[in-house]
Structures are given as structure tokens and as C-alpha cells.
Amino acid sequence: MSRTFLGMPATPPRAPYGEGNLRGDAAFPRAAEGELRNEQLRRNLGRATHTIRAKRLAVTGELPDWEQLRDAGSALKTDTMNRLPELLEELERKVTERGGTVHWARDGVEANAIVARLIEATGSDEVIKVKSMATQEIGLNEHLESRGITPYETDLAELIVQLAHDKPSHILVPAIHRNRDEIRQIFLKEIPGVDPSLDAVPAHLAAAARAYLREKFMTTKVAVSGANFGVAETGTLSVVESEGNGRMCLTLPETLITVMGIEKVIPRYQDLEVFLQLLPRSSTGERMNPYTSMWTGVTPGDGPQEFHLVLLDNGRTAALADKVGRAALHCIRCSACLNVCPVYERAGGHAYGSTYPGPIGAVLTPQLAGMHAAKDDPNSSLPYASSLCGACFDACPVKIDIPSLLVELRHQKTEQSGTTPEKLAMKAAAGVMKRPKLYTAAQKAAGLGRVLGGRDGTISHLPPPFSGWSDSRDTPAPPRQSFRAWLASDEGAATLQGAADEGARQRAAAHDDPEEQR
């Protein structure tokens, strides 16, 4: 609190290190290595991403005002970030007025503890869950299990992931890396009492999930959800889904606990008219998703009679403090950027090591959890998991300029690298290049470095402190003579003159024969 009185703003902290699911075990290139060798995975991913791309283009093309909707969505998010404190306080006030209870969580650890305490207070030792990125991010399931509470994921893809003891690999379709035969195997092995003659027809697999979860929906007293939108003006929360598992969880239990990132608040109820057009068309490529639920606090005689809203920071304020990076908080989790990304399509979601994969994950994850929390932090590799082709920017319904954010993060990584020998060497090189005489002398000296080169003329192992450089790339051994020295020599002058003569001859010939100009 003292900083408020002093008027000195402090940089907010990132999500705590070692908690939740915002950091992988290995840097992106190494994590992607195994995935790239998995041909099944690449086939599944290629097929799925291409299917959904075509659907998205078809339904966004149907709307002549699609670009105007994107402009509105983008501006609404900027406006929200500008007014975040007042909007969150308004949301809190409205939810409370309508019989809900609002909790604030500085980070995932605190949010997990709040949710576990609320579940324990109901006396229940199991909970049904709606697919939620926020609870995946904070590792809620793992925490609940450690407290003796069994969480049941009810979204079909999340169920597949949970039954396979796997991790989600996509924001929208977390089991996108699995094909129907693999899913059949998982169900046969993990669902108690499943029909052993179950085949791999998707409709039959969905029916098996329906039968398995039906009883859970009817009997479980507590549900945990995320939220797609929280309307400050009215206190209305919204979950967008397809299967009806969301409606089940939001309607049938006695207690509902919703975990929402603080950036999910939107100013007005009317703003839903923008996001309810942008999200389904960008996400599943449908004009509208089958089901959307909107509820405001508690309604007597309809739905859960106890409602808790947990507002989660977990590094979001750290992202907000970055004037460029803050745009990543505009994300509405549609996953369109994943489906168009050439890197995601080949590497898959697991290589990113985070709940948030793909282009948006590569900018959001480092901002929430940081890139320099440990030596060789895997998150510092994420801004490089991109060819900067820009397809993600074009696909984003709220116009997040992901390529620019990636470049900014690369810049920050380079800046943060501090006084590494590599950085000192670059600085020295810059100084030398500014002085031509010194540069010529340095090039002569570098010629001596040829002794380090192998038979193929490359240096693959430099001594420390330069081993970091040569570990990841071969360096050509310096040539006997520098380009500048060669150009100044008789041989260089003759070559240059020859090229000039050849050019003049070609121009003259082209003038005679207009066909040549084509």
C-alpha cells in the first residue's frame, strides 16, 4: 500500500514461478523436435486446422461488416483496459447486488486455495467442470486432487485429455492432436462400464461421453466454470459453448464457482452484440455456437442458489504495464490464430509448454509468466516460435498485432540478456565498424581465425565464452582475404570492370531486340 501513498508506481509481478501451466520443461525448438517426428500428430493437426480455416473464411465472408465488427471489438478492448479498475469495481458491485460473492486472487495459488475452500465448505468431494482456460492456466485440477476433491471435466475434448492423462494442445479443441481411433482406445481403457464394442464413429464416441457424464450432471452439487465475458454494467456473466455440458454445469448444481481473468470484463451489455458475432465465427467457424448461457448473480428458483466469482490476476497486471504487450490481454480465446499458423500446424500445441499455445500463446505466456524467471527460461524461446508471416494478425477478430508483439518480446529478450559475452562482443564489433581503419585491421586479424575451421571451412565449436554462439549454429571460418581487401586488389578491379562491360552489352542487345525485354 505504501507505494500508493508515495505515488510511485511499481511494476506488477508475473505469475509465480513453478506454479500452474504457463511454462514448459524445454525451450520451443527442443520441445517441438519430438512432435515434428510424430507423423500421426501432424496428419491430425493438418486435417483439423485446414477444415476449420475453410469454415471460418466462409462465415466471416458472409458478413459485409466483418471489418467494422473487428474495429469495434478492438476498440472495446482498448477502452476496457483503460478503465479496468472502475469496470471491475462495477462488476463486483452488480454481482454482489444480485446475490453473488466476489473474490479476488493475486495469483493462481491464491485462486486455487479460494476455490478449494469454497468446495470444501459445501461438503462435496467432487466437482463438475466446464472447459476453462483460466483454471487450466492455474492448474486447478491438480490442486483439487491434492486436497482430495475429484474434478470431472465435462467438455468432450477436455474429458479425452483428462482420461488420457494428457495435456490440452489447442484453445478450442484441446484434443485436436488425437484422432478418432486414439479416442476410441482411450474411452475403452478409461471409462468405467463402457460398451466394449464401441467403434470409432464420432457420433458414437460422443454418445459414450454423454452416457458417462449424465449421472455426474444429475448428482454433483458444485460446478466450476470460466467465463467468456463479464459485463460490468449489469453483472452478467457469459459462457459460450457447443455441447450443453456448460449449460448442465451452470444450471443443475447448487453452487457455481466461476474463475475469470480480470481482462475478461466488458463495459456494457450492448457490447455483447459485437463479441457474440466475432467469437463464434472466428472460433468454430459457425454463425453462432449451439449454446450461450448468460446469468446475473442468483435467480431464485432457477439454477445455482450460491454463486461465487473469482477475479484472477496471475500476471495480467504485469502484461498491462507493458504498453505494447498489453494488447495480448485483448484476446477473446477464439483460437483462429492457431489454425492459420504455419508453425503451430507443424509443431502442435504441446511444444509451447503453456495452456496458451500458438501465436497468441507465444505473446501471452511470456507476459503472464515472464521470460527470465530462471536460467535458460523456456518461455524466452516462445517469441521465436514464429516466421512473422502475419497470418495471425489477419485472422484475429480483435486485431491484435501479434507479429509486432513478438518482435517487441524478442527485443526485450535481447535487452534483458544483459552483459553476456555475446552482447559485449556485438558492442565491440559496432565500435570497430564505425572506424574504417580499425575495421580493416580487425579483418586481417580475423584471417588468423582460419586455424579454428575444420576441413569443411566451418567452425562448429568455439571456446567459451563463445560456445553459446557455436552450440546452435556453424560459423564459416574467416576467409584468407576480406571482401574489402579483395575489391581493392587488381583482381577485384578487373572483375568489376568485366561485369560492367557485360551489363552494357546486354543493354545494347535488348535495345535491338524488344523481345529480350520481356
Partner 1 sequence: MSAPATARETVLGRIRDALALAPAQDVTVPRAYRTGRTLPDDQRLALLIDRLVDYKAHVHTCTADGTAATVAAVLHDRAARRIGVPAGLDRAWLAEYDGEIQEDTAELPAPRLDALDGVVTASAVSCAETGTIFLDGSQDQGRRALSLVPDLHVCVVDLSTVVTGVPEAVARLTPSRPTTLISGPSATSDIELERVEGVHGPRTLDVVIRTDA
- Judged by CB under 8 A, the chain residues 222 through 241 that form the site for partner 1 are 231, 233-234, 236
The neighbouring-strand residues paired with 219 are none
Mark the segment that binds partner 1 (CB under 8 A) among 99-107, 116-124, 145-153, 424-432: 99-107
1 binds partner 1 (CB under 8 A): yes
- Beta-carbon-side half-sphere exposure of residue 187 (alpha carbons within 13 Å): 30
51 binds partner 1 (CB under 8 A): yes
469 binds partner 1 (CB under 8 A): no
Nearest distance in Å: CB 484, partner 1: 45
Report the number of secondary-structure helices (H) and strands (E) in the chain: 24, 12
467 binds partner 1 (CB under 8 A): no
Which listed residue (30, 93, 117, 287) binds partner 1 by CB under 8 A? 287
103 binds partner 1 (CB under 8 A): yes
Which listed residue (32, 133, 171, 209) binds partner 1 by CB under 8 A? 209
Which listed residue (286, 456, 502, 516) binds partner 1 by CB under 8 A? 286
Nearest distance in Å: CB 212, partner 1: 11
Mark the segment that binds partner 1 (CB under 8 A) among 85-93, 140-148, 439-447, 460-468: 85-93
270 binds partner 1 (CB under 8 A): yes
Nearer to partner 1, 31 or 48 (CB): 48
313 binds partner 1 (CB under 8 A): yes
18 binds partner 1 (CB under 8 A): no
338 binds partner 1 (CB under 8 A): no
* Residues of span 435-464 touching partner 1 by CB under 8 A: none
CA dihedral in degrees (6, 12, 18, 19; nearest 10)? 100
Q: What's the CA gap between 48 and 475, in Å, rounded?
A: 40
The neighbouring-strand residues paired with 295 are 237
- Cα–Cα distance list, 409 to 41, 131, 335, 380, 388 (Å): 29, 29, 21, 9, 13
199 binds partner 1 (CB under 8 A): no
Q: What's the CA gap between 130 and 122, in Å, rounded?
A: 19
Nearer to partner 1, 31 or 222 (CB): 222
User: Could you please report the per-residue DSSP string of 121-138?
Assistant: HHT-SEEEE---HHHHHT
- Residue pair 369/315 in contact (Cβ under 8 Å)? The answer is yes
Which listed residue (4, 197, 472, 517) binds partner 1 by CB under 8 A? 4
Which listed residue (109, 191, 321, 432) binds partner 1 by CB under 8 A? 321
Mark the segment that binds partner 1 (CB under 8 A) among 16-24, 33-41, 73-81, 423-431: 73-81
Which listed residue (32, 41, 105, 332) binds partner 1 by CB under 8 A? 105
- Residue pair 350/167 in contact (Cβ under 8 Å)? The answer is yes
List the x/- string, 109-128, binding to partner 1 by CB under 8 A. Answer: -x------------------
- Residue pair 16/326 in contact (Cβ under 8 Å)? The answer is no
Place of cell 461438503: 123
Q: Nearest-CA neighbor of 157 among 171, 141, 175? A: 175
401 binds partner 1 (CB under 8 A): no
Q: Nearest-CA neighbor of 253 among 355, 370, 127, 135? A: 127
- Cα–Cα distance list, 196 to 36, 159, 205, 439 (Å): 33, 19, 12, 76
* Residues of span 146-185 touching partner 1 by CB under 8 A: 154-157, 160, 173, 175-176, 179-180, 183
Amino acid identity, position 517: Q
Nearer to partner 1, 168 or 478 (CB): 168
Listed in sequence order, the residues at least 6 apart from 450 whose beta carbon sits closer than 8 Å to its beta carbon are 477, 478, 480
What residue spans of 356-482 are helical by DSSP H? 358-369, 391-395, 402-416, 421-433, 436-447, 467-472
Nearer to partner 1, 125 or 182 (CB): 182
Nearer to partner 1, 31 or 257 (CB): 257
Start-to-end C-alpha separation, the chain: 73
Mark the segment that binds partner 1 (CB under 8 A) among 69-77, 116-124, 406-414, 448-456: 69-77
Q: Site for partner 1 (CB under 8 A): how many residues?
A: 103
129 binds partner 1 (CB under 8 A): no
Q: Nearest-CA neighbor of 206 among 131, 154, 151? A: 154
Nearest distance in Å: CB 8, partner 1: 9
Nearer to partner 1, 327 or 347 (CB): 327
- Residue pair 393/402 in contact (Cβ under 8 Å)? The answer is yes
Which listed residue (18, 85, 464, 514) binds partner 1 by CB under 8 A? 85
* Cβ neighbours of 179 (radius 10 Å): 16
Q: What's the CA gap between 295 and 284, in Å, rounded?
A: 23
301 binds partner 1 (CB under 8 A): yes
